[in-house]
């Protein structure tokens, strides 16, 4: 219902919503689940993979949170770009889209064609890069904070009063950050979903 209400608020064409709403729901659930990997103990899956990976002939390396890897988030944003390009051509036709590339946003004057085309390319690139980088930056920073908090527990090996306080600090800080991070992983999935709806909707509309 949340995704459907967002789609109705942005996409006014009922036919277009038949594509946009399921796409948005898929994006939201997929990214939310990938983000939620950050709530697992930071060394749980790597320690399992440390044993299983080499046995399977794979490298002894595991990145737990997919969205903290730039290749994943940029792959997602590039997928959205390809969908937008497809619908630009499908809705407007190849000729209509090329005409739009040359005439928007500054008007249908031949001497403005290069400027219009350059502005359109900058817009496509900026939207795609910012779409992927926003998700990556937030999740990468959150992962780093989890790792820094986990390092507090390492000082417990000293078995001193100070190291005991560090372990207590790790438990308190880790719990607080995990609770706060639930909001972050949900918000980032929501933002990526809404931007996907907006970009696909823009591709189906004429300037």
Cβ–Cβ < 8 Å for 20, 169: no
Annotated active-site residue in 63, 134, 155, 163 = 134
Annotated active-site residue in 5, 13, 71, 130 = 130
Q: Take residue 63 and report the two structure tokens written for it.
A: 């990145």
DSSP letter at 37 equals G
Q: Is 116 a catalytic site residue?
A: no
Annotated active-site residue in 16, 35, 138, 166 = 138
| Residues contacting residue 1 through CB under 8 Å, at least 6 positions apart | none
Distance CA(192)–CA(149), nearest Å, equals: 27
Q: Take residue 43 and report the two structure tokens written for it.
A: 């060394």
Distance CA(160)–CA(164), nearest Å, equals: 6
Q: Is 130 a catalytic site residue?
A: yes
Q: Take residue 64 and report the two structure tokens written for it.
A: 């737990």
Q: Is 63 a catalytic site residue?
A: no
Distance CA(181)–CA(148), nearest Å, equals: 15
Only one residue has tokens 């005439």, namely 103
Cβ–Cβ < 8 Å for 171, 155: no
| Residues contacting residue 62 through CB under 8 Å, at least 6 positions apart | 45, 46, 49, 53
Catalytic site positions: 130, 134, 138
């Amino acid at each position: 219902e949340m995704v459907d209400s967002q789609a109705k608020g942005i996409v006014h064409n009922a036919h277009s919503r038949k594509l946009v709403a399921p796409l948005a729901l898929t994006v939201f659930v997929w990214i939310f689940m990938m983000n939620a990997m950050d709530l697992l103990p930071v060394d749980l899956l790597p320690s399992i993979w440390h044993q299983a990976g080499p046995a399977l002939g794979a490298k002894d390396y595991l990145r737990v949170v997919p969205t903290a890897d730039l290749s994943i988030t940029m792959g997602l944003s590039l997928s959205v770009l390809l969908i937008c390009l497809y619908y630009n051509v499908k809705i407007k036709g190849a000729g209509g889209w090329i005409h739009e590339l040359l005439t928007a946003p500054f008007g249908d004057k031949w001497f403005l064609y290069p400027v219009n085309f350059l502005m359109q390319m900058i817009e496509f690139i900026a939207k795609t890069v910012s779409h992927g980088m926003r998700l990556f930056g937030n999740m990468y920073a959150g992962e780093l904070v989890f790792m820094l908090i986990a390092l507090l527990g390492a000082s417990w090996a000293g078995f001193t009063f100070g190291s005991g306080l560090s372990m207590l600090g790790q438990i308190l800080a880790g719990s607080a950050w995990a609770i706060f991070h639930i909001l972050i992983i949900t918000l980032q999935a929501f933002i990526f979903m809404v931007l996907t709806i907006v970009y696909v909707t823009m591709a189906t509309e004429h300037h």
